[in-house]
């Protein structure tokens, strides 16, 4: 078995600090077992970047850095990746900010990453590229004659074809994706969007075995919903919660990077509406909403805007409803350590995970993992998070529907212990089986079977999509029936 070469925008740190959580936990086992190399941008930028990788040896796997220039950091990373691709892939054409130098920088950096990688490759290596910053890497590697299996995983959602067409280079991006052997996506909805895009952008043909045929080669597209170290997170939450007392009020919690895709203003408005409704007055003074939202991508205008918007909303809510003894909303604008977050989740009655569009959303899974199974909290989850295809026993909401979200907060706070336990058990059992180790294993097995002649024994993109859609429809029906019977009960 050859080595695993992971390529991502950021590599783990050389000293292992900050490994907890995220992809490192997911991939460390495979990197150790297969012998591995993880390639990512050097956190420092350079005036004259070198074209060679600098390799560092860690006990578990090697890390190699590529260098990018100060200008490329602006144009490739903050520019094309985060001001064009991020908004478009999250359906926000209105927030796309295109400048002429962005797109050349994106392809230039990706070409350089491919060129710097080639001298380090061995014929039996498997390459796994991560996320939207690096879509063109496989095509650049193929141009350089690389025949190794190359996989890609997109952590963010795939928009519909009309939205993607707003990017002038939409066909070039699609061709880039088609140079991989296996494109892994978060959810069934993404698979169906990407199949449509490939057909329209590059005339790809869907084969009976589920692969897409493009330009004389085949690419497989399938959903591999990412997950967490469920049991590890649960233990951490138990430990952390034991160290501090539960709060004297019912806590609602939201934990997000401060990003416009996360639906934070709508969430604040829903909480405000919940407080405003006469039937919820008895919760005043007995509930508190804690929102943790550290800044990201400072310098991109859309992020500065959302920050100001939230500060104003938090001030408005506290000003209108707060008393000397009660602060209705607590807003922390910096990251918290994972262990502390885990304890806070466990001591919360409700989690508000209400993105407008999200690849997966791991906070939803972390909240479920952290709960006390005998007295669990309730997850309010946006139907537009990839996680909604799996966590069907959550209270699913449309984050744009402020009234529905406000009512869901009341429903969650008033929910009986028996219903909370039943809903939590369904979600927990799902993520206990489908954890991060299962994600990595399934993806790599499928990638191993994807190169060259297609192996018909693996589940095809279409099979997966249809199965997920079927179970999604069933889950929604169950959820509706459950919601219906509860609201009927409460009216009787």
359 is a contact residue toward ligand ADQ (CB under 6 A):
yes
440 is a contact residue toward ligand ADQ (CB under 6 A):
no
7 is a contact residue toward ligand ADQ (CB under 6 A):
no
CB of 187 to ligand ADQ, least distance (A): 10
Q: Which stretch binds ligand ADQ (CB under 6 A): 100-108, 234-242, 252-260, 432-440?
A: 252-260
Which C-beta is closer to ligand ADQ: that of 292 or that of 462? 292
341 is a contact residue toward ligand ADQ (CB under 6 A):
yes
> 51-64 b/e with 16+ CB inside 10 Å = b?
eebeeeebebbbbb
Question: DSSP assignment, residue 435?
Answer: -
Give the SS3 label for residue 308: helix
Site string for ligand ADQ, 209-228 (x = CB under 6 A): -----------------x--
CB of 244 to ligand ADQ, least distance (A): 17
Give the SS3 label for residue 376: coil
Q: Which stretch binds ligand ADQ (CB under 6 A): 69-77, 135-143, 288-296, 415-423?
A: 288-296
Which residues is 206 bridged to in the sheet? 212
Q: Are the beta carbons of 119 and 133 closer than 8 angstroms?
A: no
Which C-beta is closer to ligand ADQ: that of 31 or that of 53? 31
181 is a contact residue toward ligand ADQ (CB under 6 A):
no
70 flagged as catalytic = no
Question: DSSP assignment, residue 248?
Answer: S
Which C-beta is closer to ligand ADQ: that of 87 or that of 359? 359
CB of 317 to ligand ADQ, least distance (A): 19
155 flagged as catalytic = yes
Question: DSSP assignment, residue 438?
Answer: H
295 is a contact residue toward ligand ADQ (CB under 6 A):
no
Q: How many helices (H) and strands (E) does the chain have?
A: 17, 16
Among 195, 125, 223, which Cα is nearest to 439's?
223
Rounded CA-CA distance 492/473 in Å is 28
Give the SS3 label for residue 333: coil
Sheet strands (E) in 233-377: 250-255, 287-292, 329-332, 350-353
Q: Are the beta carbons of 10 and 42 closer than 8 angstroms?
A: no
Which C-beta is closer to ligand ADQ: that of 76 or that of 153? 153
Site string for ligand ADQ, 137-176 (x = CB under 6 A): ------------------xx--------------------
Rounded to the nearest angstrom, the gap between the alpha carbon of residue 332 and the centroid of all alpha carbons in its chain is: 21
Length of the chain: 492
91 is a contact residue toward ligand ADQ (CB under 6 A):
no
Which C-beta is closer to ligand ADQ: that of 18 or that of 104? 18
Query: Which one of residues 360, 368, 447, 462 is an interface residue with ligand ADQ (CB under 6 A)?
Result: 360
Rounded CA-CA distance 306/355 in Å is 14
Q: Are the beta carbons of 179 and 150 closer than 8 angstroms?
A: yes
Residues taking part in catalysis: 155, 358
Q: Which residues bind ligand ADQ (CB under 6 A)?
A: 21, 155-156, 226, 255-257, 292-294, 335-336, 341, 358-363, 366
């Amino acid at each position: 078995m050859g080595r695993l070469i992971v390529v991502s925008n950021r590599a783990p740190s050389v000293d292992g600090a900050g490994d907890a959580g995220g992809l490192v936990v997911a991939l460390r086992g495979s990197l150790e077992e297969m012998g591995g190399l993880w390639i990512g941008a050097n956190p420092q930028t350079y005036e004259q970047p070198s074209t060679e990788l600098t390799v560092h040896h860690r006990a578990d796997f090697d890390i190699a850095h590529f260098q990018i220039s100060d200008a490329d950091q602006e144009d490739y990373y903050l520019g094309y990746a985060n001001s064009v691709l991020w908004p478009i892939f999250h359906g926000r054409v209105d927030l796309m900010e295109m400048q002429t130098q962005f797109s050349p920088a994106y392809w230039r950096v990706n070409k350089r990453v491919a060129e710097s990688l080639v001298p380090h490759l061995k014929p039996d290596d498997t390459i796994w590229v991560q996320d939207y910053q690096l879509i063109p890497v496989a095509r650049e590697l193929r141009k350089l004659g690389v025949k190794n299996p190359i996989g890609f995983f997109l952590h963010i959602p795939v928009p519909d074809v009309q939205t993607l067409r707003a990017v002038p280079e939409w066909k070039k991006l699609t061709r880039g994706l088609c140079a991989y052997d296996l494109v892994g996506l978060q959810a069934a909805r993404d698979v169906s969007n990407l199949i449509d895009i490939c057909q329209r952008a590059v005339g790809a043909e869907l084969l009976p075995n589920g692969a897409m045929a493009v330009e004389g080669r085949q690419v497989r597209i399938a959903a591999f919903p990412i997950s967490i170290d469920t049991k590890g997170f649960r233990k951490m939450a138990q430990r952390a919660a034991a160290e501090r007392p539960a709060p004297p009020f019912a806590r609602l919690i939201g934990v997000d990077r401060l990003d416009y895709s996360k639906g934070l203003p709508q969430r604040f408005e829903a909480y405000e509406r919940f407080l405003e409704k006469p039937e919820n007055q008895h919760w005043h003074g007995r509930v508190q909403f804690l929102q943790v939202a550290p800044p990201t991508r400072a310098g991109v205008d859309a992020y500065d805007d959302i920050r100001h918007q939230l500060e104003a909303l938090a001030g408005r809510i506290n000003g209108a409803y707060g008393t000397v003894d009660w602060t209705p909303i607590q807003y922390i604008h910096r990251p918290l350590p994972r262990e502390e977050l885990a304890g806070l989740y466990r001591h919360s009655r409700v989690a508000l995970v209400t993105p407008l569009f999200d690849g997966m959303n791991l906070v939803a899974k972390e909240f479920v993992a952290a709960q006390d199974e005998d007295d669990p909290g309730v997850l309010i989850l946006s139907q537009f998070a990839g996680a909604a295809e799996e966590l069907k026993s959550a209270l699913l909401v449309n984050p744009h529907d402020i009234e529905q979200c406000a009512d869901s907060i009341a429903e969650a706070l008033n929910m009986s212990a028996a219903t909370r336990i039943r809903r939590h058990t369904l979600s927990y059992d799902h993520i206990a089986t489908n954890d991060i180790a299962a994600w990595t294993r399934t993806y790599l097995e499928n990638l191993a079977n994807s190169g060259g002649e297609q192996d018909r024994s693996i589940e095809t993109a279409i099979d997966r999509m249809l199965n997920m859609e079927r179970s999604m429809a069933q889950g929604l029906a169950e959820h509706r029936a459950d919601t219906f019977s509860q609201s009927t009960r409460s009216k009787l």
